[in-house]
């Protein structure tokens, strides 16, 4: 169960304070607490653990240890210089960034971060910056080393309380970034999912993994451990990992490429990553008929009429044949034909699909003047595609009714003439 309380707004601090010495960015500090509450279950009171989130106003400030906060009435996270440069993505367009700060727990057993000045009792925070237009998402790990032993006892999660006006001096020690948090691509395209990272010390023992979540299934695509040198799967360059680039290459996008990709980077005791949603672009169908826009048939003549929808994606498509009268004064409400049959879906080599809706037309004179329309609907279409033809029906040619008896008479006369010729020599 999740509850949110203590939400505060930042109406006064919506603009970013920038000077030659200080950069300041408004952030939301999200505190997480677990409390035990009583709830009624099947007529009995039971204790339930409830997670509460407290939203607190804070600011991200860049400077040197001991700098005064720009806004002393807020919680200030003072970020000092380190080998992981947080200001790189703050150079331009600061008003397009969303900043979120959270606590981070390294695990049950304290582990000292392998850099100068780190302690086992360090406090950890994450700072996530999201570009409002989806250009990137970046998460930094901030380390805070208390100068003196904590007077206030930590809570059950070993988190020391943070007061409303506190200034917390930190340094960025690790970051994980993606420029592709969400993608929409076409079928059979080469695609790269961006995942970059940086650590403040060399020879870090790191593990890089990629996973795909699709339709409730979870599969590992790639893993690499710098400690063992072992690699499993493909799509990521080990040489690029050494440069901080763990991007995943997809050779050709297919229907099965769609899903949520997760890049994870683990440098003990820290573990960070980002999820990326890959969507295959919907492709509209191309619709065609096997007849012209005007069809003329004799009464009772048989004609197969095909409506083909091809090269569309995804699979779901709706096709139907409609019949409506064009006679003035008649009802123009279309009738959905019930005799329509469908071919099997054909899966094309490029990943698209093709489907044919057809029926056998054997018209009577009453069908003349009707319009037949194939209507196709698909997710990639704002409006259905309509392809039509108009039918005209003629009677069978009545001027040839005498031909069969006339031909029969000619045959009888020819037979009699042949017999007479055979009998003439006898008579003579």
Task: Indicate the pTM of the whole model.
Answer: 0.77
Tell me if 99 sits within 8 A of 26, measured CB to CB: yes
Strand ranges inside 42-157, DSSP E? 44-62, 75-80, 97-104, 123-131, 137-144
Q: Are residues 242 and 305 in the same domain?
A: no
Residue 257 domain-assigned (yes or no):
yes
pLDDT, tens digit (0-9, with 9 covering 90-100), for 23-45: 789 999 999 877 777 777 777 87
What is the three-state SS of 12-41?
Answer: CCCCCCECCCCEEEEEEEEEEEEEEEEEEE
**According to the model, what pLDDT value does residue 143 have?**
94
Please say if the pLDDT value at position 116 is more than 50. Answer: yes
Tell me if 390 sits within 8 A of 292, measured CB to CB: no
Distance CA 356, CA 352 (A): 14
Which residues constitute the domain of residue 265? 2-280
Q: Are residues 89 and 143 in the same domain?
A: yes
Choose among 94, 99, 96: nearest CA to 27.
Answer: 99
Region for residue 382 given its phi and psi (left: phi exceeds 0; alpha: psi -120 to 50; beta: otherwise): alpha
Q: Are residues 202 and 294 in the same domain?
A: no
Query: What does R_g of the chain's alpha carbons equal in angstroms?
Result: 38
The angle subtended at Cα 87 by Cα 84 and Cα 91, nearest 5°, is 145
From the CB of residue 420, how many other CB atoms can be counted at a distance below 10 Å? 10
CATH number at residue 33: 2.60.40.10
Say which residues have a Cβ less than 8 Å from residue 292's Cβ, sequence separation at least 6: 389
Residue 269 domain-assigned (yes or no):
yes
Residue 428 domain-assigned (yes or no):
no
Q: Are residues 224 and 296 in the same domain?
A: no
Boundary of a domain, candidates 280, 304, 319: 280
- Which of 89 and 65 is assigned the larger pLDDT? 65
3 state DSSP class of 383:
coil
Q: Are residues 245 and 373 in the same domain?
A: no
Q: Are residues 292 and 149 in the same domain?
A: no
Tell me if 322 sits within 8 A of 310, measured CB to CB: no
Boundary of a domain, candidates 280, 302, 318: 280
pLDDT, tens digit (0-9, with 9 covering 90-100), for 286-338: 999 999 999 999 998 999 999 999 999 999 999 999 999 988 776 778 999 99
Residue 46 domain-assigned (yes or no):
yes
Tokens in use for 35? 């409390």
Q: What is the mean pLDDT of residues 341-355?
A: 94
Distance CA 151, CA 291 (A): 87
Q: What is the mean pLDDT of residues 177-205?
A: 93
Distance CA 169, CA 79 (A): 6
In which band, very low, low, confident or very high, does the pLDDT at 91 lie, cut at 50, 70 and 90? low
Residue 409 domain-assigned (yes or no):
no
| Residue with token string 């680039």 | 245
Out of 32-46, 132-146, 161-175, 372-386, pick the least confident: 32-46
Please say if the pLDDT value at position 347 is more than 70. Answer: yes
Q: What does the mean pLDDT of the chain come to?
A: 85
Distance CA 294, CA 337 (A): 19
Choose among 242, 208, 241, 204: nearest CA to 225.
Answer: 208
Please say if the pLDDT value at position 60 is more than 90. Answer: yes
389 upstream amide cis, omega within 30 of 0? no
Residue 412 domain-assigned (yes or no):
no
* Greatest C-alpha distance within the chain: 151
Q: Are residues 247 and 219 in the same domain?
A: yes
Tell me if 184 sits within 8 A of 281, measured CB to CB: yes
Choose among 167, 173, 72, 74: nearest CA to 118.
Answer: 173
Residue 48 domain-assigned (yes or no):
yes
Q: Are residues 211 and 269 in the same domain?
A: yes
Q: Are residues 58 and 191 in the same domain?
A: yes
Whole-Å CA distances, 205 to 104, 108, 226, 233, 242: 20, 20, 6, 20, 11
Q: Are residues 8 and 125 in the same domain?
A: yes
Residue 143 domain-assigned (yes or no):
yes
Say which residues have a Cβ less than 8 Å from residue 43's Cβ, sequence separation at least 6: none
Q: How many domains does the chain have?
A: 2
Q: Are residues 76 and 140 in the same domain?
A: yes
Q: Are residues 95 and 22 in the same domain?
A: yes
Boundary of a domain, candidates 280, 314, 347: 280
In which band, very low, low, confident or very high, does the pLDDT at 166 lie, cut at 50, 70 and 90? very high
Instruction: Give Cα 6 distance to the centre of its chain.
Output: 34
- Which of 254 and 418 is assigned the larger pLDDT? 254
């Amino acid at each position: 169960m999740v509850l949110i309380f203590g939400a505060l707004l930042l109406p006064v601090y919506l603009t970013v304070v920038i000077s030659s010495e200080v950069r300041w960015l408004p952030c939301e500090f999200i505190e997480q607490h677990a409390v035990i509450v009583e709830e009624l279950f099947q007529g009995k009171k039971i204790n339930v653990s409830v997670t509460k989130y407290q939203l607190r106003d804070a600011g991200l400030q860049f400077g040197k240890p001991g700098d005064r906060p720009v806004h002393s009435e807020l919680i200030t996270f003072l970020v000092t210089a380190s080998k992981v440069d947080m200001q790189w993505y703050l150079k331009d367009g600061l008003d397009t960034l969303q900043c979120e700060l959270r606590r981070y727990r390294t695990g049950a057993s304290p582990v000292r971060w392998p850099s100068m000045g780190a302690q086992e009792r360090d406090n950890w925070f994450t700072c996530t910056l999201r570009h409002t237009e989806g250009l990137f998402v970046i998460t930094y790990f901030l380390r805070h080393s208390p100068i003196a032993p904590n007077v206030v006892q930590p809570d059950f999660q070993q988190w020391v309380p943070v007061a409303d006006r506190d200034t917390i001096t930190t340094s960025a020690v690790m970051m994980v970034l993606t420029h592709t948090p969400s993608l929409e691509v076409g079928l059979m395209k080469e695609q790269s999912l961006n995942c970059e990272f940086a650590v403040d010390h060399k020879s870090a023992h790191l593990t890089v993994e990629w996973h795909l979540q699709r339709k409730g299934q979870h599969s590992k695509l790639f893993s690499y451990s710098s400690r063992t040198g072992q690699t499993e799967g493909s799509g990521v360059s080990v040489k690029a990992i050494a440069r901080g680039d763990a991007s995943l290459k997809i050779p050709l996008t297919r229907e099965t490429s769609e899903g949520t990709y997760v890049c994870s980077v683990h440098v003990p005791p820290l573990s960070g990553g980002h999820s990326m949603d890959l969507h295959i672009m919907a492709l509209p169908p191309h619709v065609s008929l096997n007849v012209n826009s005007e069809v003329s048939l004799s009464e009772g003549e048989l004609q197969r009429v095909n409506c083909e929808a091809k090269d569309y994606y995804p699979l779901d498509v709706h096709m139907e044949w409609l019949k409506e009268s064009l006679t003035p004064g008649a009802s123009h409400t279309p009738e959905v034909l019930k005799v329509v049959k469908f071919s099997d879906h054909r899966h094309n080599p490029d990943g698209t699909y093709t489907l044919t809706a057809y029926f056998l037309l054997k018209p009577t004179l009453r069908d003349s003047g009707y319009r037949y329309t194939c209507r196709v609907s698909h997710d990639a279409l704002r409006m259905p595609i309509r392809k039509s033809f108009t039918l005209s029906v003629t009677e069978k040619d009545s001027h040839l009714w005498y031909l069969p008896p006339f031909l029969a008479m000619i045959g009888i006369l020819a037979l009699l003439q042949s017999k007479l010729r055979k009998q003439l020599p006898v008579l003579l």
